Amino acid sequence: MIENGEALLEGRHVTKRFGGLVAVNNIDFVVRQGEMVGLIGPNGSGKTTLFDCLSRVQPIDEGQVLFKGIDITAKKPHQVAHLGMARTFQVIRVYRKLTVLENLLVSRQWRGESLFGQLTRANVDLEDRARELIEFVALSHLVDSPAGTLSGGQRRLLEIGMALMPDPDLLLLDEAASGVNPTLVETIKDRIRVLNQDHGKTFLLVEHDMRFISDLCSRVYVLNYGERLAEGTPAEVMKSEAVIEAYFGA
Ligand code: ADP
Ligand code: MG
């Protein structure tokens, strides 16, 4: 059990290259248990690639990632998920033809079991949990609707619900508010807050909307061209000359 304030996720000199391009360059960072940390930076600065490295979707070229004190640098995505890390994707990944409920039921990682096996498994506990989470993400009225019929914001909420199914300790959300109408942005923010404050979930959030970041996060890392440009409170980094220049040019 990691105590509040102790390192939950730690990156040491994390480097990821695509051919000659260094997408993530020698990044050091720490996310502590109970924190909500922002990861910001201009388009193409390496935020999604860093998430891919952390959730082990991409191999890391150099450096080390520790989760709960365990070196996960060489682990597989499902092993990291099993340890309690969940993520969502910038490009929404839901099964469009499956209903909201079915999407949650298949999002739990069952070792080697087929999709059909998962759907037909008579697991009342699992369905109860799925329905609870659907209520939590404010989608109860759409429980039997195909995910493809949901709005962008509703799909983002569905993805958060799916990420919560295995009861992770850490959630990495990649642009959870992008393409979402302002009302649902508030719902998403509120749900994240409740998860953090009442359920002890730790968050690392990639988001373009600085309001979203400053409303939720106590600390922010800023990336630029794959490098760590700044770290501090949202107010501090927004005042930083280097950050302003990276976003708006000299
Ligand atoms: P961000 O999420 O901050 O917008 P990305 O991590 O998506 O940035 O991209 C960082 C850089 O890496 C960009 O220059 C992008 O073009 C490049 N990149 C990302 N993924 C790949 C890939 N699979 N192959 C080659 N280059 C990639
Ligand atoms: Mg991205």
**pLDDT tens per residue across span 23-68:** 999 999 999 999 999 999 999 999 999 999 999 999 999 999 999 9
Nearest ligand 1 atom, CA 42: 3
Pocket test for ligand 1, best of 14, 21, 47, 87 (most atoms within 8 A of CB): 21
Q: Is 227 in the pocket of ligand 1 (CB under 6 A)?
A: no
Q: Is the pLDDT of residue 154 over 50?
A: yes
Q: Is 42 in the pocket of ligand 1 (CB under 6 A)?
A: no
CATH superfamily of domain region 7-248 = P-loop containing nucleotide triphosphate hydrolases (3.40.50.300)
**pLDDT tens per residue across span 206-236:** 998 899 999 999 999 999 999 999 999 999 9
According to the model, what pLDDT value does residue 110 have? 44
Beta strands 219-224 and 227-232 are: antiparallel
Q: Is the pLDDT of residue 121 over 60?
A: no
Q: Is the pLDDT of residue 160 over 90?
A: yes
Q: Is the pLDDT of residue 117 over 60?
A: no
Task: Quickly count: other Cβ atoms within 10 Å of residue 57's Cβ.
Answer: 15
What's the pTM value of the predicted model, to 2 decimals? 0.93
According to the model, what pLDDT value does residue 92 have? 84
Structural domain boundaries in the chain: 7-248
Q: Which residues surround ligand 2, an ion (CB under 5 A)?
A: 47-48, 90
- For 133-161, what is the mean pLDDT? 96
Q: Is 44 in the pocket of ligand 1 (CB under 6 A)?
A: yes
Q: Is the pLDDT of residue 250 over 70?
A: no
Residue pair 41/229 in contact (Cβ under 8 Å)? The answer is yes
Q: Compute the distance from residue 141 Cα to the ligand 1 centre, in Å.
A: 37
What DSSP assignment string belongs to 48-94? Answer: HHHHHHHTTSS--SEEEEEETTEE-TT--HHHHHHHTEEE--SS---
The most distant pair of C-alpha atoms in the chain lies apart, rounded to whole Å, by 61
Q: Is 103 in the pocket of ligand 1 (CB under 6 A)?
A: no
According to the model, what pLDDT value does residue 83 have? 94
The one-letter code for the residue type at 83 is: L
pLDDT band at 113 (very low <50, low <70, confident <90, very high): very low
Helices H / strands E in the chain, number of each: 10, 10
Rounded to a whole number of angstroms, the distance between the first and last alpha carbons of the chain is 46
